[in-house]
Amino acid sequence: MKRRPASVIFATGARYILPLMLLFAFFILLRGHNEPGGGFIGGLVVACGFALFALAYSVADARQILRVDPIQLIGWGLLLALLSGLLSLLLGLPFMTGLWPDFAIPAIGKVGTPTIFDVAVFLVVIGVVLNVVFSLAES
74 counts as binding another protein under rule CB under 8 A: yes
Contact with another protein (CB under 8 A): which of 5, 44, 63, 69? 69
Contacts of 51 (CB under 8 A, 6+ apart): 62, 129, 130, 133
Whichever of 12 and 64 has its CB closer to another protein, that residue is 64
Q: How far apart are CA 51 and CA 59, in angstroms?
A: 8
88 counts as binding another protein under rule CB under 8 A: yes
Size of site (CB under 8 A) for another protein: 18
Stretch that binds another protein, among 10-18, 34-42, 52-60, 96-104 (CB under 8 A): 96-104
Print burial letters for 122-135: b (CB count within 10 Å at least 16), e (below 16): bbbbbbbbbbebbe
Contact with another protein (CB under 8 A): which of 41, 44, 96, 111? 96
Whichever of 57 and 117 has its CB closer to another protein, that residue is 117
Q: What is the DSSP letter of 94?
A: P
Contact with another protein (CB under 8 A): which of 89, 104, 108, 132? 89
Print burial letters for 35-61: b (CB count within 10 Å at least 16), e (below 16): eebbbebbbbbbbbbbbbbbbbbbbeb
CB 111 to another protein: min, Å: 18
Report the interhelical angle of 39-56 vs 8-31 (nearest 10°): 170
The residue ranges that bind another protein (CB under 8 A) are: 69, 71-72, 74-76, 78-79, 82, 88-89, 92-98
